């Protein structure tokens, strides 16, 4: 039971019937505006962002087991208009991002609006926190942030999806001793024992290498993670993502939660609905087939 006395939710709320995950991420904020600009379509205003995100929800929601969005650009429309079918659980980003226009995210913190007791989580099945993991003086503070986030989810009767993304320190880069795959494993050993409902990890080797190399690297990651885990598409070329998901599932993952690998080449197109139907829907269908066939069901993870 949760603190409210209600039965705690299970991961079935955002999972496929067989227990794997095929989830779509649409919580990008400044990075999505940058993608539009890079595609030659200019930086969209608020309405343009909402229009793209709701188009993705309509096109991919029927195939997805979960759909991730942020509170400022699209949450209200997705809930109000009932864009997601019953089999697609709504996931809300609970992270506030420190990010300059055109630049990568520099740090994250808990969105205190989402964290407030009065914030309306009607229809939300899970909340997600992006956490930038570094070997620096703030490492323990980030562990405490993750712990607070997981506790908040339990208090609000929703699932917690923890997404650590590893970053090098300037010292590691200047010394030439940055090993991203080693950092992914170290972060998993440090953070997954906090027991979020679901751990979201970067793909080892950035999804590159032979099938055997990638599978073995994913097996190492699976051994480092406590509890069920999925992979994200950040850092993996979209053409490599299908193979990366297959290798991750063979290595113990329960599926994926991905955005760019599904729709990045649709951004800025004049007929978004058609492009999503012709490009992104078949791409997601192939990924769902892999998850249903290869993923470790979350109850067995």
Query: 250, 149, 131, 248: which is closest to 197 by C-alpha?
Result: 149
Instruction: Look at residue 90 and give its three-state secondary structure.
Output: strand
Round to whole Å and give the CA distance between 193 and 275.
Answer: 41
Q: Kindly give, in sequence order, each residue whose CB lies less than 8 Å from that of residue 112, ignoring residues fewer than 6 positions away.
A: 96
**In whole angstroms, what is the distance from residue 191 CA to residue 5 CA?**
27
Name residue 229's beta-bridge partners. 199
Query: What secondary structure letter does DSSP report for 227?
Result: S
Q: How many CB atoms lie within 10 A of CB 287?
A: 24
Q: Which residues of the chain form beta strands (DSSP E)?
A: 21-26, 66-69, 89-93, 95-98, 107-110, 124-133, 159-166, 198-201, 229-231, 255-258
- Per DSSP, the three-state class of 221 is helix
53 carries an active-site annotation: no
Rg (CA), the chain: 18
Residues 20, 255: contact at Cβ < 8 Å?
yes
Tell me the HSE value of 139 on the side-chain side, using a 13 A CA sphere: 13
Asked if residues 227 and 201 have their Cβ atoms less than 8 Å apart, the reply is: no
Which residues does the annotation mark as catalytic?
200
């Amino acid at each position: 039971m949760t603190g409210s006395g209600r039965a705690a939710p299970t991961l079935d709320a955002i999972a496929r019937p067989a227990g794997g995950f095929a989830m779509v991420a649409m919580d990008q904020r400044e990075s999505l505006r940058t993608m539009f600009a890079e595609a030659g379509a200019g930086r969209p205003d608020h309405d343009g962002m909402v229009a793209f995100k709701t188009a993705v929800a309509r096109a991919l929601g029927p195939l997805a087991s979960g759909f991730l969005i942020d509170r400022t650009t699209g949450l209200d429309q997705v809930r109000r208009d009932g864009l997601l079918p019953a089999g697609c659980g709504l996931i809300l980003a609970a992270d506030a991002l420190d990010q300059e226009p055109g630049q990568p995210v520099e740090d994250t913190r808990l969105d205190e609006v989402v964290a407030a007791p009065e914030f309306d989580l009607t229809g939300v099945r899970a909340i997600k926190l992006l956490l930038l993991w570094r070997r620096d003086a703030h490492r323990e503070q980030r562990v405490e942030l993750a712990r607070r986030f997981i506790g908040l989810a339990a208090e609000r009767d929703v699932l917690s999806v923890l997404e650590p993304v590893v970053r090098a320190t300037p010292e590691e880069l200047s010394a030439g001793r940055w090993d991203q795959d080693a950092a992914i494993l170290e972060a998993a050993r440090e953070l997954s024992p906090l027991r979020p409902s679901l751990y979201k990890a970067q793909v080892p080797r950035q999804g590159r290498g032979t099938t055997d190399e990638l599978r073995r690297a994913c097996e190492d990651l699976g051994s480092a993670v406590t509890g069920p885990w999925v992979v994200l598409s950040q850092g993996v070329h979209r053409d490599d993502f299908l193979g990366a998901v297959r290798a991750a599932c063979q290595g113990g993952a329960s599926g994926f939660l991905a955005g760019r690998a599904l729709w990045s080449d649709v951004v800025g197109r004049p007929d978004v609905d058609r492009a999503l139907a012709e490009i992104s829907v078949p791409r997601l269908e192939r990924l769902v087939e892999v998850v249903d066939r290869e993923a470790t069901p979350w109850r067995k993870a």
